[in-house]
Amino acid sequence: MIYLDHAATTPVPPEVADIVRDTLVNHYGNPSSQYPFGQEAKALVARCRETVADALGCKAEQLVFTSCGTESDNWALRLAAYRARHGGRHIVTTAVEHSAVLETCRQLEQDGCAVTYLKPDRSGRITAAQVAAALRGDTFLVSVMLVNNETGCVFPVREIADTLRARGSEALLHTDAVQGFLKVPFRADTLGADLISVSGHKIGAPKGVGALYLGERVKNARPLLAGGGQEAGLRSGTEATAQLAGFAEAVRLRSAGLEASLSHLAAVKAYALERLLAIEGVVRVGEGEAPHILSVSLVGYPSANIVEELGAQGICVSAGSACHRGRASHVYEAMGLDKRVKAGVLRVSFGPETTREEIDALADALRAHRDTRFPML
Ligand code: PLP
């Protein structure tokens, strides 16, 4: 199999799988239990938090573990709305956020909030000036992702933070960094965001674990789950120790070879761009800078058919975010792409082990598809 869909999810390295298994089988104590076997599990959770916080560039106590990026996004928006319940009503976000942010915004609209959805330009970019122009006196939250999951565009979160301060805005800044963590280097303590969402399964951890960074300004956040008081009382529920151990190990592995891995990704992406754009009828979509995501279009050829045909040959790419499950992507819609370009969009995303031979196989299969099928439009 040739797996070129690392933005959807990533393979779990054997070292990570071993630690997950070892934790499940040998260290299954409940971190809240008072005897040593339980306290060892508690210490394990503390070590995992240190490791992930270190890679994120924050203090361990500023990090709350969650079950996924979606949960982190939902919670970030809801806690900001609750905090502003006596004053702010307005949210600024983008039309190209992940559905975890967009659908939460829609629910908050039903609860009486007003939301401004900023549109990207045709290259997929959003600017700090757009955010500045959308701010209102009652804006309590700006939520702008760090890396778009379909185009790979990196949004100017640091500049947006500076703009908010310069304008004297009290709004909290949330960034969904699910596609940015350990791909586009940043430190939570200098990024300027108050809330940062990340997810384990995009970096080699098992599915079912994520984290939310809560910055200095987010004091007394409303707990997500009430109960036994785990996660400093902010998210009750017995800790998912095996997932956390896997998350920390994945972070350790990715961090250790980060520089080499990022330059490998950049080289693979440049090669893929060269090979794919050499196919007549293929154009680039957006100008994403993230090293692991490339969006192209085989103009006029429905991407669902391409994904199916390539999939049958063992080549995994995506027609956009895996979450759309075949529906047209709101991201390409918001970019105002031509109908025929939009029809043929493919997202190709890379991992540390992706090889040039795999890119060659993709390019050959795509060329064969073009030669043997008719464009629908
Ligand atoms: N945000 C972005 C940008 C994503 O790409 C994804 C997953 O595709 C998510 C949030 C959701 O993360 P999870 O799958 O961990 O819920």
Residues 182 and 76 placed together within one structural domain of the fold: yes
Decide if 5 is inside a domain.
Answer: no
Q: State which ligand 1 atom lies nearest to the alpha carbon of 147.
A: 3
CA angle, corner 155, sides to 248 and 144, nearest 5? 80
Residues 264 and 312 placed together within one structural domain of the fold: yes
Decide if 204 is inside a domain.
Answer: yes
CB atoms within 10 A of CB 134: 16
Summarize pLDDT for 54-92 with one digit per residue, the tens. 999 999 999 999 999 999 999 999 999 999 999 989 999
Closest to 159 (Cα-Cα) out of 191, 184, 136, 207? 191
Residues 248 and 127 placed together within one structural domain of the fold: yes
Nearest C-alpha to atom 12 of ligand 1 is from which residue?
Answer: 69
Residues 246 and 282 placed together within one structural domain of the fold: no
Residues 131 and 244 placed together within one structural domain of the fold: yes
Cα of 82 from ligand 1 centre, angstroms: 23
Residues 144 and 286 placed together within one structural domain of the fold: no
Test site for ligand 1: of 70, 93, 150, 347, most ligand atoms within 8 A of the Cβ: 70
pTM: 0.97
- pLDDT averaged over the chain? 96
- The residue from 234, 255, 276 where one domain ends is 255
Residues 328 and 241 placed together within one structural domain of the fold: no
Q: Is 23 exposed, middle or buried (0-12, 13-18, 19+ CB in 10 A)?
A: buried
Residue 321, pLDDT above cutoff 60: no
Domain that holds residue 33: 14-255
Give the pairing type, strands 172-176 and 139-143: parallel
- 245 Cβ closer than 6 Å to some ligand 1 atom: no
CATH number at residue 94: 3.40.640.10
In this structure, what are the phi and psi dihedrals at residue 196, rounded to the nearest 5 degrees? Answer: -130, 125
> What is the average per-residue pLDDT within 111-138?
97
Cα of 30 from ligand 1 centre, angstroms: 28
- 178 Cβ closer than 6 Å to some ligand 1 atom: yes
What are the residue ranges of helices labelled H in the chain?
Answer: 14-26, 36-56, 69-83, 99-110, 128-134, 157-166, 188-191, 241-256, 258-277, 303-312, 330-334, 339-343, 356-372
CATH number at residue 356: 3.90.1150.10
Summarize pLDDT for 185-219 with one digit per residue, the tens. 999 999 999 999 999 999 999 999 999 999 999 98
Q: What percent of the chain has pLDDT over 70?
A: 98
Residues 204 and 273 placed together within one structural domain of the fold: no
Residue numbers annotated as active site? 323
Residues 261 and 236 placed together within one structural domain of the fold: no
Number of domains in the chain: 2
- The residue from 232, 255, 278 where one domain ends is 255
At 49, is the secondary structure helix, strand, or coil?
helix
Cα of 199 from ligand 1 centre, angstroms: 7
